[in-house]
Structure 1
Amino acid sequence: MHDALKEKLKQRMASTQMRRRRCRAAKEASVVVDFSKNDYLGLSQHEEVIKRFIDATNQWGVGSTGSPLLSGYCREHQRLESELCEWLEKPAALLFSSGFAANTGVLNTLTGESGKIYADKLVHASLIDGIKQSRQRFKRYDHSQPLTIAGMLQPEDWLVTEGVFSMDGDDGGIAQLAELKKQQPDATFMVDDAHGIGVLGQEGKGALADNLNVIDIMTGTFGKAFGVGGAFVCADNDTIEALIQFCREYIYSTAMPPAQAAAASAALTVIRSNEGREKRDHLAQLAQQFQLEMSRRGLAYIESSTPIQTWSFESEETARRIARELTSLGYLCRAIVYPTVPKHLPRIRFSLNSNMQSAHISQFWHVADELLESNRAL
C-alpha cells in the first residue's frame, strides 16, 4: 500500500465516515422490522424462487464454471435473457455479475470519442465511474433539473440517469428526460432502473414502463426487487453484440451461476403475475402511509411514492444516534451520511417491502414518537 493511501486510510479510520460491515444472522430475534434491505417484494424468501434455485443447482451445480464466452453460458441464462427482452420490449439482453459491472461496462465500452455525456448529479457511483473511465466529456446537471440542458443535447450525446434514485426515492425528472430524448431522438438515452424495475409500472416494468420505446439502453439489477443477485442490460441487437465483443466487464468475468439465473427467472414470473401486482399495490400503500406519518409530525423528508423513504436531519451525529437507538429497539435502519449523500443532507434511509403490514408502520412511528420525546427531554 502506497503512503498516500495509508494516510488516507488512517484519516478515514479515525473519522465518523469510517464504514463498517454488519454480519447478519439468519434470524435475529431482536429485529421487529428490517428497514435496511432492498428486497422490496420479499422475493428472496419466495417459495417458488427458492425451489427454482434448488432445482437448477441440482441440475447445473453451484457455479457456472467459466466466463460466458467459454463454458459459463447455458440455457438458464439464455431463457432469462429472452424473458427480459419480451418483458421490456427490447430486441436483446445480456446478463452481468453485478449492476456495477453492467453500468461501468456499458459506459466504458459504448461511448465514443465525440459527443458529451449529460448525467444527473446524484447518479450512482457505478455510473460516475463508468463516465470517468470512458474519458468522454461530461456535464452533471442539478438533480431533477434536466431541462437546464434543453437545447444543448446533440445527436452524438448521451443522457444518463437512474429510474429511481437509491438515496432519495424520487425519479429525478424522468418524464422531462423522456421529452428531451424525443426532441433529440439520435442521442443515446441510458437509464439505470435498479430500484424501479419490478416495483413500478405495469407488470413492474419500471420507472419508464409507459415510455420504454424512448430508452436506448436499460440496466437493472436482480439484487433488489427480484431478491436474487446479478444484473442485466437491455438494448438493440448491435449494442448487445458490441458488449459481447468488447466489454471487458463481461468477457473477463465468470458468468452468474445457472441457479441464480433460474431464480431470477422465477422472480420475474412472480413480478408479472397477479401476485406481483398485489405486492406492488400494497407497497405503494405502505409508502403513502409512511409519507403521511412523517408529514403529520412535521419531519423533514423527501417526497417519494417508492419503497425508499428518507427522514432528514440537520446533523450527521443526530442521524446516527437516532438510527442506533431505533435499531436497538428492533427497527433495523441505517444512517446515510457524506460521502454517500451531500454533507448538508444526512438522513435515515428506510426500505419498505411488501411483507410489511400497515400495523408495522404505525407501530414504528409510535416507538419513534417515544424516542423523539425522550431526546427532547435530554
Structure 2
Amino acid sequence: MTRLDERRESSRFRRRQTRTATAIEQQFASNDYLSLSQHPHVLKAAKDALDRWGFGSGGSPLLSGYSNAHRELEEALAEWLDVEAVVLFNSGFAANHGTISTLIQTGTIYFDRLSHASLIDGIRSTKRRFKRFEHNRIADLSAELTPTAEDWVVSEGTFSMDGDRIPEQELRELQQHSKVSVLLDDAHGLGVWGEQGLASYGALRDNIRLLTGTFGKAFGASGAFVAGSGDDIEELIQFCREYIYSTAFPPAQAAAIQAALTVIRSDEGAELRARLAHNIDNFKGQLQQRQLNLIASDSPIQSWVVGDDQLVMLLKQQLQQAGFAVSAVRPPTVPEGSARIRFSLQAQHQPQHIDALCQQLDKLS
C-alpha cells in the first residue's frame, strides 16, 4: 500500500473544496476579514489597471515583469510601515521560505512551535541550528540567548490557527539582553487591528528586523511582501530564488492591493476594523454561552476545538448542508487531539448573520 493509499483510507484524507458564490451571511471560512475583495474602489483600481496593463505581467521581476504599479505599491507599503524598502512576492509561502533561506545565515534560529509551515520549511532549508520553543513562551529564551550571539527569533504576530497574538512585552525584554534579530510574519494581523491596521508590528516596529505579510487576508487579494532595511531587501532581490525565478503577479493585482491599502489607512478602514471587532465579540459571547471549547482569541480567527478527526468532518458537513461555509482543520496542520471547526469573521457580517450561524450550531448532532 502506498502512502497515498494509506491517506485515502484514513480520516485525514483531504479534498479541495470548490467555492461557490456563497453569500456573505453564510460565508464563515474566508480570510477576507475586511471584505475588501468586493470593495468598489478595489474593483475599480483592478479594472482600470487591466485596461492599461493587460492581464499578465509578462515575466519575472528582474526581466519584464516589474511595472510602475508594482513599484508604486512597494513605495506605499514602505511609507505605511515606515521601513526603508519592501519587495513583493507571489505568495506568503514564497515570501517566508525565500526570506529565511536567503537572509538567515548566522546563529541559532528559535521559532514558535505553532509557526506556519512556510516558516518551518524555510528554517529547515537554512541548515542552521534551530530550536522550537513552546507556544508564545518567548520569555523562556532568556536563559539560552547570549549578548554576543547573532541569533534569530521567528514568530507569527497573529497565529493562523489559534488566532492569539505574540507576547509583545516579553519580546522587548528579551532583546534588552541579546543581539537577537526578529522575523515577524503578521499575515493575519496587518490591516485587521491597531492604529492604521498595523497590528503587532505597530507596537514592535523598533524590535523587528524583517516583516512578512500577505495580501490574501485583510487586503482581500493575494500575494505577499517582505519589509525591512534597504540592504536586506536588496539582498532578496539579488539572491532569493523564490523571487528571481517566479513570474511577477499582474500589475492589475498590484493596483488593486494599493487601493485596498488606501482603504485600510483611511477613516473607513478604522470603521471596518471597529465593525469587525464588534462581530468578533458578539460571536465569542454566543459560543461561550453555549459552553463550546473555544480557543481564546481576539482575532477574526475563532476555533472550536472538537478533538476527534471524524467528528469534526461530520460537523463541517452538517453546517455545509445548512448553507454555512466553515473550515475543518485536522492534524498535521494542528496538534494531535485538537481537530477543530475554524470560523472566520468579516466586517460585513451583520448581527443576524452571526445569530443564524449560532442557531444552526444548536442543531448539530
Indicate the residue corresponding to 2:173 in structure 1. 179
1:32-71 maps to which residues of 2 (within 5 A)? 32-71=25-64
Provide the secondary structure at the position in 2 that maps to 1:225: coil
Q: Which deviates further from its counterpart, 204-213 or 66-75?
A: 204-213
Indicate the residue corresponding to 1:10 in structure 2. 5
What is the identity percentage for the equivalent residue pairs of Structure 1 and Structure 2?
48
Whole-angstrom CA distance in 2 between matches of 1:349 and 1:173: 23
1:242-257 maps to which residues of 2 (within 5 A)? 242-257=235-250
Equivalent of 2:141 in 141, 145, 149: 149
Whole-angstrom CA distance in 1 between matches of 2:28 and 2:22: 14
Q: Deviation digits for residues 284-304 of structure 1, max 9, x if unmatched?
A: 111111111121121111111
1:361 CA displacement: 1.3
TM-score by length of 1: 0.93
Equivalent of 2:152 in 151, 158, 161: 158
Is residue 65 of structure 2 the alignment partner of residue 72 of structure 1? yes
Q: Deviation digits for residues 325-359 of structure 1, max 9, x if unmatched?
A: 11111111121111110111111000111010122
Indicate the residue corresponding to 2:108 in structure 1. 116
Equivalent of 2:212 in 219, 230, 234: 219
Provide the secondary structure at the position in 1 that maps to 2:131: strand
Whole-angstrom CA distance in 2 between matches of 1:125 and 1:75: 32
1:32 CA displacement: 4.5
Whole-angstrom CA distance in 2 between matches of 1:147 and 1:345: 25
Is residue 346 of structure 2 the alignment partner of residue 362 of structure 1? no
Equivalent of 2:299 in 297, 302, 306: 306
Conserved? CA contact 2:12–2:309, under 8 Å: no
Indicate the residue corresponding to 2:290 in structure 1. 297
Provide the secondary structure at the position in 1 that maps to 2:143: coil
Whole-angstrom CA distance in 1 between matches of 2:350 and 2:32: 15
Q: Which deviates further from its counterpart, 214-223 or 10-19?
A: 10-19
Equivalent of 2:343 in 350, 355, 359: 350
The gaps in structure 2 that reach 5 residues or longer are: none
Q: Which deviates further from its counterpart, 312-321 or 175-184?
A: 175-184
Equivalent of 1:21 in 10, 16, 20: 16
Say if 1:146 and 1:71 are closer, same or farther in 2 by CA, change over 3 A. Answer: same
Whole-angstrom CA distance in 2 between matches of 1:199 and 1:143: 22
RMSD of aligned Cα (Å): 1.4
The gaps in structure 1 that reach 5 residues or longer are: 1-5
Conserved? CA contact 1:32–1:330, under 8 Å: no
Conserved? CA contact 2:95–2:225, under 8 Å: yes
Provide the secondary structure at the position in 2 that maps to 1:370: coil
AA of the residue aligned to 1:279: L
Conserved? CA contact 1:200–1:209, under 8 Å: no
Whole-angstrom CA distance in 2 between matches of 1:282 and 1:28: 21
Indicate the residue corresponding to 2:328 in structure 1. 335
1:319 CA displacement: 1.5
Provide the secondary structure at the position in 2 that maps to 1:67: coil
AA of the residue aligned to 1:181: Q
Q: Deviation digits for residues 178-197 of structure 1, max 9, x if unmatched?
A: 3323432x321000011001
Equivalent of 2:125 in 103, 110, 133: 133
Conserved? CA contact 1:201–1:208, under 8 Å: no
Whole-angstrom CA distance in 1 between matches of 2:278 and 2:88: 32
Whole-angstrom CA distance in 2 between matches of 1:124 and 1:87: 25
Is residue 87 of structure 2 the alignment partner of residue 89 of structure 1? no
Provide the secondary structure at the position in 2 that maps to 1:183: coil
Indicate the residue corresponding to 1:189 in structure 2. 182
Which stretches of structure 1, 4 residues or more, deviate above 3 A after TM superposition? none
Provide the secondary structure at the position in 2 that maps to 1:320: helix
Conserved? CA contact 2:168–2:204, under 8 Å: no
AA of the residue aligned to 2:331: Y
Indicate the residue corresponding to 1:168 in structure 2. 162
Q: Deviation digits for residues 247-304 of structure 1, max 9, x if unmatched?
A: 1111111111111110000000000011110110111111111111121121111111
Whole-angstrom CA distance in 1 between matches of 2:172 and 2:70: 31
AA of the residue aligned to 1:121: R
Conserved? CA contact 1:182–1:214, under 8 Å: no
AA of the residue aligned to 1:11: E
